[in-house]
Amino acid sequence: MKLLQRATLYYAIVFLVLLMVLSGFFYGIIQFFFLKSLDESLLREKQKVDYSFSANKHPDQLVFDADEEVEIRPVPLQEKQADSYHTIYFKDEWDTTSSLQVESEPHRELVTFLEHKDTLYKLTIRKSMIESEDLLSSIVLIEILVLLILMGSFLLVNVWISKRLWKSFYEVLNKIKKYNLSSGDALVLEKSSIREFEDLNSVLQTMSARIQKDYRVQKQFTENASHELQTPLMVIRSKIELLIQRPNLSEDQMRLLQSIDNASQKLSHINKALLLLSRIENNQFSKNEKILLQPLISKIVENFTDRVHLKKLNLELNVAADAMLNLDPTLAEILFTNLIQNAVRHNFHGGSIKIVVRQGKAEFSNTGEVLDFDQQAVFERFRKSIKSDEGTGLGLAIVKEICNVGGITIDYKYESNQHFFILTW
C-alpha cells in the first residue's frame, strides 16, 4: 500500500471513530436540553393547577396543551412525596389514528402533590415526547450528514494536497528506478521548492556519483585482473605442455605435471566464470530480443553429443516450436549450456536427461545422487558436492544470476532420484 493511501486510510478510521463518539455525545447533550425544556413546561402546568387552587377554581376550568394529559385526584396525606420526573412509554387512549398501531410512544411525566382545603391531591401531568424525539433524530441525522460531508471533503482535499506535495518525490523515485549505472550518465534530478525534497535530491546525487565512481573502479579492476590473470595462466599451461612432451620424465613427474595442468585449467575456468558473473551483475548484457528456443537448445545439445554417448545417457528433448524467451542472446546460450552441462556432469553412467520446453516454461531433469548439502544452497557460489572433483561450483550461480537479470523464476527440487530445474517466465 502506498504512503498516501495508508495515510488516507488512517485519517478515515480516525474520522469514523470520532464521528461515532461525537454523534453519541451530541445526541446526549441535545437530549439533556430537550428533557430540561420539557420538565420546565411540566412545571409551568403544575403552577397553573396550583394557582387555580389558590384562586378557589377547579383545575377542570384550566386549558392545557393538546399533547398533555393531566390527572388530579385526592389521596391520603401519608402518600405525599417529593416531585418526580419520569420518561414512560405507553399509547395514548385518545390516539385512534390507527387501530393496528400497538407501539408505545415516549412521554415525559411529572408526579407532584398539592394541598388544598386540608385535602392532598396527586397531580400527574404527561407530555408527549414524540415530536421532540423526531426533532432530536432529525438534528442528529443532519449533524452526522454534515460531519460525513466534512470528512469526505477533508479526505479529498488531503489527497489532492498530498499528491501535489509528493509530486517531486515520485518524480525522483521514477528517475532512480530508470537509472542505470552502466550507462555512465550522472543522475540528474530537478530542483524542488520543498526544502526536504531538495535535501534528498542533493544527497541522492552525491551518493549516485560516489557509487558510479566505485562501480567504474570495480569494473576496471575486474577486467584488468581477469586480463592479467589469463596471460600467466596461458604461459603456465604452455610450459606444462612442453614439459610433458619431454621423453625423460618419470611416471611421478608426469603425474605431478598433469595435476598442475588440471589445476591451471580449473583456475582459468574460475577466472572466466567470475568475470562473467561480474559482467552480468553490472548489466553489461542488455541487448534483449525474442529468441526461438528450439534451434538454440538443439544446437547446444549437439555440442554435448560426445559426452552423452560416453556416459551412455538417454537424452529426451521436447521443445515446442513456438517457445520463445526475451533475453540477451549471449546470456540465453550461457543459461541453457550451463543447465545441460550440469545435467550431463552430475548424472549416473547410463542415466537419463529430459528437457521439456513450452511457451513460458522449461523443465530440465536428470538422474543423479541426492545432494550432500541443503538444496536451498544449490545456487550459491562455489557450492558443490564434496564427492565431485569436476566443475568450479559457479555454473548454477551463473544460471541464477542470469535468471535474476532476465526476470526468470527458477526452482529446484529432488524427487525419485532425479534433479529438477524448473524455469518460468
Q: DSSP labels for 160-171?
A: HHHHHHTHHHHH
pLDDT of residue 93: 55
pLDDT of residue 60: 59
Where in the chain are all domains bearing CATH 3.30.565.10? 289-424
pLDDT value at 384 more than 80? no
How much is the mean pLDDT over the chain? Answer: 82
pLDDT value at 96 more than 60? no
Where in the chain are all domains bearing CATH 1.10.287? 195-281
Residue 218: count of CB within 10 angstroms of its CB? 13
Element at 117 (helix H, strand E): none
The letter for the amino acid at 109 is: E
d(CA 223, CA 230): 11
What values do phi and psi take at 115, rounded to 5? -110, 135
Which are the contacts of 103, defined by CB distance < 8 A and separation ≥ 6? Answer: 91
The letter for the amino acid at 358 is: R
pLDDT of residue 61: 58
Residue from 191, 66, 47 nearest 127 by CA: 66
What values do phi and psi take at 412, rounded to 5? -125, 145
Topology adopted by domain 195-281:
Helix Hairpins (1.10.287)
Q: Which pTM does this prediction carry?
A: 0.49
Most confident of 64-78, 227-241, 353-367: 353-367
Please state which of the four CATH numbers 3.30.565.10, 3.40.605.10, 3.40.50.2300, 2.170.130.30 is assigned to the domain occupying 289-424: 3.30.565.10
d(CA 237, CA 234): 5
Question: Tell me, what DSSP letter sits at residue 121?
Answer: E
